[in-house]
Chain A
Amino acid sequence: NAGVTQTPKFRILKIGQSMTLQCTQDMNHNYMYWYRQDPGMGLKLIYYSVGAGITDKGEVPNGYNVSRSTTEDFPLRLELAAPSQTSVYFCASTRGNTDTQYFGPGTRLTVL
């Protein structure tokens, strides 16, 4: 059982480049989340989805976009990368909103 998988594990971008962070879960969870974790700052919610076709902004959505065309996949898009987006990005999923969140291993992104 793979759980939540994220690709890539590491990426370096130049300012202004774009990229998509992939997230897939095989647990048939309805809820999926994207967080960023900066040193000493805990986890901040970027976007979340309560089911296929439905997405909502979290605390720090600016500079990011998401889509949820299937239950399994929840990609995060950076259109114009900025140094402020240097962070570790975690995807998570839950069966219901109050259940355990299962996290992926993270993507470490550096924007230079």
Chain B
Amino acid sequence: TQLLEQSPQFLSIQEGENLTVYCNSSSVFSSLQWYRQEPGEGPVLLVTVVTGGEVKKLKRLTFQFGDARKDSSLHITAAQPGDTGLYLCAGRSGNTPLVFGKGTRLSVIA
């Protein structure tokens, strides 16, 4: 069974601060996705990374896929209250279904 460990589990920061959350595994993934989930709603895809070492930017969010394709990070610059939510990473190996991590719950305080 492939496992994705996300850290930290909870994070509470002030508006304007920077933060990084992590997604780690002992397994190699062919692709990795990051989702954000707001209370009472389903997860929404933020990004997909497929190449080892790949870096993708989405406004103030920077996503990186590890060189060995076993880990990923999400960095948020100048966090805003609108960034509050549950951040989930999900990995896929070949044609197997996605495996989700437990998530990092982020709270940005104004």
B residues contacting the other copy or chain, number (CB 8 A): 21
A residues near B31, Cβ cutoff 8 Å: 98
B residues near A97, Cβ cutoff 8 Å: 92, 95, 97
A48 within 8 A of B: yes
B97→A106 contact, CB < 8 A: no
Q: How far is the CA of A45 from the CA of B102 in the complex (A)?
A: 13
B52 within 8 A of A: no
Chain A contact-residue range equals: 20 to 34
Query: B60-104 vs A: 1/0 string, CB under 8 Å?
Result: 000000000000000000000000000010101001011011110
Mostly helix, strand, loop or mixed at chain B's interface? loop
* Minimal beta-carbon separation of A73 from chain B (angstroms): 18
Q: How far is the CA of A40 from the CA of B90 in the complex (A)?
A: 15
Identify the closest chain A residue to B31 (Cβ): A98
Contact A105/B97 with A40-B102, A42-B88, A98-B92 known, Cβ cut-off 8 Å? no
- Chain B residues in contact with chain A, CB under 8 A? 1, 9, 31, 33, 40-45, 48, 88, 90, 92, 95, 97-98, 100-103
- Chain A residues in contact with chain B, CB under 8 A? 4, 33, 35, 40-45, 48, 58-59, 90, 92, 97-98, 100-101, 103-106
